[in-house]
Amino acid sequence: MNEAWSWATAEFGQVELSDSRRTARLVAMGAAACERPSGKVAAVFGTDREREGAYDFLENEQVAPEEIMAGVAEATLRRSEGLPFVYVPIDGTSITVVDRAAERDFGSIGSTGNARGLKIIDALAVDPEGTAIGWLALTFWARTKRAPPQGSRARAARPVEEKETQRWIDTVRAAKTRLDEYGQRGWFQIDREGDGRDVLLELAESGHWWTVRGARDRGIELEGGTGRLRSELGLRTAAGEYELAVVARVKRRARAARMVVRVAQVVLRLRRWRDGAITPLPITAVWAREEGTTPDGEQPIDWLLYTNRAIETLDDAKLVIHGYAQRWRIEECHRTWKSGQCDIESTQLRSFAAVQRWAIILGAVATRIERLKRISRINPSAPGSIELTPIELRALKMLKFGAAPPDREPTIADAVSWLAELGGYANKYSGKPPGAVVLGRGLRYLRPAAHMLSIQEGRGATG
């Protein structure tokens, strides 16, 4: 059994689809997608028979996408066993498909509503070192109604069940339920989209840790009255400072930013717009703001975080900030899943449910690619066997060195570097680490070579 089959069996082999043949088909599709990831089904499966079986599976109404997702979440939690906790970034994204005549059961995407596809809120499990483990929840839906204008009173006054906020709550609940079933501690990490009354209250009731980036200067309760959060934090003595390495990007220059940290335990006043009712929520606020190093013409780096983690020292506050920084792992997975190596947005499937099933399978593959990339960066001296099988390592050495490869087993950093070179990695002298796209290309070269080597060795053993 090669590594792709081993991975697919672990990822999908326990999925309950009421028929063992469907589960076997799912495992085979997962292995094929792992070997040749692509949004186009025809590019993944090499024969007419395989393609026909894949299309039949993806269009089969008896195959519940929820059951596939439950199996993926179970595999994710098995991989998290023994960890003290997992970060759980939650974010929203979408899958855009071709539906120019709006004749299929997709919904509008984006603010203009001209694009079509699926909306998603997802929850990713990430280990304490920042490596993606896998998905805990994927909530899909199609927009069928146009909401009232952004910022209008009518929009704010709707019940939460009629808002897309409910999808965030559903995702939090799904992730919480699965974490609880395995007795695993989660630490939810959500960007400014989570700074809403209903999401904050859901997190507060979850029984897990959570951090949300503030989107506004909220009202707080003070002794003898009320006030504003940023004003109160500005009066507090700084808990300390640290240096943040800022990477250059559009409208941002590279620098070592001086980040000043202030902390306060406060009570937020969460207003329900429908009737003005106030719900108090005790939190710890961590405000990390750049001071003294912001280049002219740029805005200072400014993170205002709400959390339920106890903070007594600067190190405690820095751990909260570090946890929030792990939220970017979900955006990296989105890129690999949607337009990178897995390229789900190139799919030509014609129904919402079929795209949903295929997206879950490719989403699992995307987290595996991101995991391989990350492990090679944070633990470069680990053996290559933690992610590749012995036969794949032998094939990789032969592709790298020819018929007389060295005897030593490569480290995971070696293996990833060689894979990236197979995939056309041209930046090894620039200091930039290989990304998901070149690693995916390298795996496409490696898997057939490993398969042929296994056939040859099998013949030699029986000859």
User: What are the DSSP calls for 75-89, one per residue?
Assistant: HHHHHTTT-S-EEEE
Residue-range domain boundaries for the chain: 379-458
pLDDT at residue 1 is higher than 60:
no
Q: What is the pLDDT of residue 153?
A: 63
Torsions phi, psi of 55, nearest 5?
-60, -40
Q: What is the pLDDT of residue 463?
A: 42
Q: Determine the angle formed by the axes of helices 20-35 and 436-462, rounding to 10 degrees.
A: 110
- Distance separating alpha carbons of residues 242 and 290, to the nearest angstrom: 10
User: H helices then E strands: how many in the chain?
Assistant: 15, 12
Task: For residue 237, count CB atoms less than 10 angstroms from its CB and return exposed for 0-12, middle for 13-18, buried for 19 or more.
Answer: exposed
pLDDT at residue 364 is higher than 90:
yes
- Distance separating alpha carbons of residues 378 and 390, to the nearest angstrom: 22
In which band, very low, low, confident or very high, does the pLDDT at 427 lie, cut at 50, 70 and 90?
low
Per-residue pLDDT tens over the stretch 80-116: 999 999 999 999 999 999 887 888 899 998 766 679 9
Per-residue pLDDT tens over the stretch 396-415: 888 888 877 888 888 888 88
- Distance separating alpha carbons of residues 349 and 41, to the nearest angstrom: 8
In which band, very low, low, confident or very high, does the pLDDT at 462 lie, cut at 50, 70 and 90?
very low
Question: How far from 393 is each of 154, 280, 366, 390, 435, CA to CA, in Å?
Answer: 60, 57, 21, 5, 20
Per-residue pLDDT tens over the stretch 288-300: 999 999 999 999 9
In which band, very low, low, confident or very high, does the pLDDT at 203 lie, cut at 50, 70 and 90?
very high
Residue spans of beta strands (DSSP E) within 113-183: 115-126, 132-141
Per-residue pLDDT tens over the stretch 150-190: 666 666 667 888 889 999 999 999 999 999 999 999 999 99
Residue 120's beta-bridge partner residues? 93, 140
Q: What is the pLDDT of residue 459?
A: 57
The rounded percent of the chain whose pLDDT value lies above 70 is 94
Q: What is the pTM (predicted TM-score) of this model?
A: 0.86
In which band, very low, low, confident or very high, does the pLDDT at 386 lie, cut at 50, 70 and 90?
confident
Which one, of 59, 84, 64, lies nearest residue 23 by Cα? 64
Neighbouring CB atoms inside 10 A of 319's CB total: 18
